[in-house]
Structures are given as C-alpha cells and as structure tokens.
Structure 1
Amino acid sequence: MTTQNLTRRTLVAAASAAAFAFSFAGAVHADTLDLVKASGELKIGTEGVYAPYTYHDDKGNLTGYDVEVARSIAAKLGVKPVFVETQWDGMIAGLDAKRFDIVVNQVTPTPERRAKYLFSVPYTYNKGALIVKKTNNEVKSFDFVKGRRAAQTLTSNWGKLADALGAEIVGAADFPSSVQLVATGRADLTINSELSTLDFLRIQPNAPVKIVALWKDPIEIAIPLRKSDAALQAAVNKALDELQADGTLSKLALQFLGTDASKK
C-alpha cells in the first residue's frame, strides 16, 4: 500500500470516528423534548390522591383538573400522557431522578424551587384555607397558627406557609391524611387548598372540620421541569398559551373546581 493510500485511509477512519463520537454525544445530550417526541410519551408525575386536582373516580380512572390539563398538554405535543403516581414528598426528587419529564400537581414556583428548576407559565391561581376541627373555636385566623400543631405534607406550598407562620409541623402523606389528623385531634389545624377543601366538604358534608380563614393572596401554580429542559419548557408554555386562548383551561377549571381558577 502506498503512503498516499495509507494517509487517505487514515483520514477516512478518523472522520468516521469523529462522526460517530458526535452522533453519540448528541444522543447522550439530546433534549428531553426530542426524547419525548421520539418515544411518543410524556411522563407526568402526579399524586392521584389530591382531589379535585388529581384523583381516581368511582371507576378507578385517574382524573382531576391537573390530570386533564396534563392530558391536554400532551395532546398539543402530539404524544401520549403517561402518569406516574407518586407521594408528594417524593415528587420533586422523582423529577431529579428522571422518573418523569414534568410534574403537574399544584406546584408553586417559589424562589427556592426556581433556583433549581425551570417553570412553565402559571395555569392555576389558588388560595390557602385554614382548616380546623368544627369544635375548635380558638383558632380564628392565621394569626393563631403560631405554636399550633399543623398537619402538612412537609415540602408542600402549604407546609412551607405553616412553617413560616410558626406552626409545629405534624407530617402527613397527603391532603386526606392532613384532614384526618385534624378531625381526630392529632393536629390543631392544616393549611391547604381552598378548592380541595371545598370539594372535600361537598363530598363529605358531615366531616368534623371547617374553614375559618383564607390566605390573603392567591398563589400561582405552574409546572416544574429540569433546568436542562428549556426546549420542553417552551413547548409546554406554547401548549398552555393555546389552551388558555381556546378556553380549554377555563372549561376544565369550571368542570373540576367550580370556578375559573385558571385566571388570576
């Protein structure tokens, strides 16, 4: 073999290796949006026990406002929604571990969360309700929370509010557990979603709990994504903007929440 042929063969081999390496690196670093579209599935983290946002109906089907919003987003992306039910306190960790691509479960974009995650545009505005046992006439407003036992999921929006107000936090797995702790006297109060509480009281009008106050300002609810998923964030935002414009969000809010909480 001549020196000229050997050099040409070496250059071709080097080019092929470089192309393979580039292709491999591209596969490793592919944006989640590309992977979602390639697989045809959008994996969504949600609780499944937080009515009226995410729960199972009488037939055992997963539904609720957040669930149907997530389904609508997936439809806009042209993929199938795949729900991964997870307890709240493991929800954000599941996003980090790539168990799912997004979380749709009434998450507030707090400054601490924004430092670690990207967020979509808001799709819900929700007020916090102060809930106590019906026979409790001592806790009358949020001024009475300090020093009281508050049943809360530890890392939730409402748990953080209770902690900031000086409550002694009693850990709970989810909303029903929080209400149960209050009803049985193992906690003095819980701060939770006004809409979830009203829905709970509609279904169980004889439950021994009541709302005594509402937090002054509604909180924004959005969809968290990993910091590396800017393309998926843009696609989710586009979907939400379209769902807001065509009235889908308002329709779902009225259906599941009884009020248009999709608007401030």
Structure 2
Amino acid sequence: MSIKRLLAIALTATTCMGVLAGCGGKGQSTGTSESVDTTESAAEATEAGSDLLASIQEKGKIVFAMEGQWAPWTYHDEAGDLVGYDTEVGKAIAEKLGVEAEFVEGEWDGLFAGLDGGRYDAIINGVEITDERKEKYDFTTPYAYIRTALVVGQDNSEISTFEDLAGKKTSNSLGSTYADLAASYGADVQNVDTLSETIDMVLSGRVDATLNAEVSFYDYLGEHPDAAIKIVALTDDASEVSIPLRKGSETESLRDAINKAIEELSADGTLTELSNKYFGSDISQANAN
C-alpha cells in the first residue's frame, strides 16, 4: 500500500473521530446484514479522482446519509425498522443502479460534513435546493416539492404571518432552510435536532413558533391529534427537494444515473405511490401543490 494511501486512510479516520454524524454516534441501517465500511467507496473515488458510480457498482452498494428521525421522510417504525418516503425512494434508486442502498443515520448538521469528507455517496433527507447550497453541491432532479409551514401554539394570537417572527423565538435544526428562513424574518432561532423537539418547545412556551415542511406537520398531527398547535402561514412557492452530491467530475455519472432513475420512478408512478403512502397526497409533482 502506498504512503499516499496510508495518509488518506489516516486522514479519513481522524476526520471521522471529530464528526458525530455517520461515525457510529447514531448507528446505521443497511440493506445487508454484513458489516461494511461506509467510507470506502466515496473516499476512494474522491482521492483517486475516479468515477464514483463505477466504484458504487463495483462494490454493490450506495451509501445514503439521513437523519432517521424525521417522519414521514425517514424514521423507525414500531418494530424498529428504518422506513419513510426517503428510505423507500433511496432503495428504489439503488435498485435502478443495480446496487443495494445502505443508510447511515446522523444529526442534520453532520450530514453535509460527512458528505464533504467522503463518508457518504449522497444525502437523501428531504433536502431543499437553495442558491447557497448550489454553490457547494450538485443536485439531482427534484423528487418532491414542499411548502414551509409556520406553526404556533393553539392560543397564540400574536403570530399570523412570517413577518410577525421579528423579535420572536423559534426552534429548528442548525443549518436547515427553516432556521435560515426564520432568521431572515428577524427571529431568534434556538437550535434543536428533531421535529418533535421543536414542537415540544412551542407547546412548553420556550419558543414562540417553529417552521418545517407542511406535510411533516400534518403527519405529526395525524399521530398527535390533540396537540395544541396550529399552522398560521405557508410559503407561497413550493421548494424543490433533491439529492445533493459533492461537486466534481467523479460524481457526474452518478448524478446522471440518479436523474434517470428519478425520471423513471416518476414516469412509472412509483414516486406518486410512495408519496401517497407516507404523506396522504402526491408531493412528487411540482403542480400537485
């Protein structure tokens, strides 16, 4: 083994120790029962400047990063199995690529760090396309379209629009589009990890409001019909949900292959079927919102 390769392995291990997400802090779910090295295909392809798709197909797996605790996108059911819209879409894409999907779970603010470090091949976690993110990552064809909802306590009469967030406290995941949107309206954003935590903070009065995908709130209310929260505003336009990849020539063929898979899954009705299964409506089409 070359000195260069030894140094690359040492650097990858050192980076992994410093980042919680994807390095065993949250555990992982995989399509196979054997223990596998989730860093190898992405890191090796990046180091060698080779083709990531070819590396993925050679190893027979694509490594997706996700939170694993954001229903109905990606979460664990009562049996402890990893399920959700993104989980099933990821498996369907992997099947189109002729490989198995492996899912590594981590906290939101660590997913992109893991992608940057080559520990994951891609992220599938309801990621919205933004101008800022496009500067750093390549995005696939969108596979979902969502609006952002503003949620407050049932008795809150002070907030009815996004503009009313000025000077108020909100709760959201660090680095999420929801946190950024709240901050853009002058809110003091408190950082938390999960949707349940954000709603708990609203219910306890520790914050005034929270923002998240409209469909995620409806899913929460379906599970907690007596929750004393309400949606008071929605963004006018739907955001595009896509799969971010590292920029670079080594990911171009992977992006093209995933795009083709998404187009086929859309055309054959798979995305619509999965969307209706998990959201109760079709969010896979731009004109469905």
Under a length normalisation based on structure 1, what TM-score does the superposition of the two structures give? 0.88
1:172 is matched with 192
Which protein has the larger Cα radius of gyration, Structure 1 or Structure 2?
1
The equivalent residue for 1:187 is: 207
| Residue 51 (1) aligns with residue 71 (2) | yes
> Which residue number in structure 2 is paired with residue 224 of structure 1?
244
Alignment of 1:35-114 (within 5 A): 35-114=55-134
Counterpart of 2:154 in structure 1 is 134
Q: Which runs of 5+ in 2 are unaligned?
A: 1-43
The alignment's C-alpha RMSD in Å is 1.6
Query: In the comparison of the two structures, how many residue pairs are matched?
Result: 241
Instruction: Give the counterpart of 1:209 among 197, 220, 229.
Output: 229
Q: Which residue type is aligned with residue 240 of structure 1?
A: I
Match of 2:171, SS? Answer: strand
What is residue 281 of structure 2 aligned with on the other side? 259
Give the TM-score normalised by the residue count of structure 2: 0.81
Q: 1:177 to 1:25 in 2, by over 3 A?
A: closer
SS in 2 for 1:176: helix
* Distance in 1 (alpha carbons) for counterparts of 2:170 and 2:72: 22
Q: How many Å apart are 1:26 and its aligned residue?
A: 11
- Runs of 4 or more consecutive aligned structure 1 residues displaced over 4 Å after TM superposition: 24-27
Aligned residue for 2:101, secondary structure, equals: strand
CA offsets 1:36-63 (integer angstroms, 9 cap, x no match): 0011010000111110110111111111
What runs of 5+ residues in structure 1 fail to find an aligned partner?
1-23
Matched residues in 2 for 1:33 and 1:27: separation?
14
Check 1:31–1:132 CA distance in 2 against 1; reply closer, same or farther (3 A cut).
Answer: same
* 1:230-249 paired onto structure 2 within 5 Å: 230-249=252-271
Following superposition, the deviation at residue 29 of structure 1 comes to: 2.4
CA-to-aligned-CA distance 1:57-88 (integer Å, 9 cap, x gap): 11111111111111100010010100000111
**What CA deviation, in whole Å up to 9, does each residue of 1:87-140 have, x standing for no partner?**
111111110111210100111121111111110011100011111111211111
Question: Which stretch of the first structure deviates more once superposed, 136-145 or 235-244?
Answer: 136-145
Partners in 1 of 2:59 and 2:78 — Cα distance? 31
| Counterpart Cα distance in 1 of 2:61 and 2:72 | 25
Q: Secondary structure at the match of 2:58?
A: helix
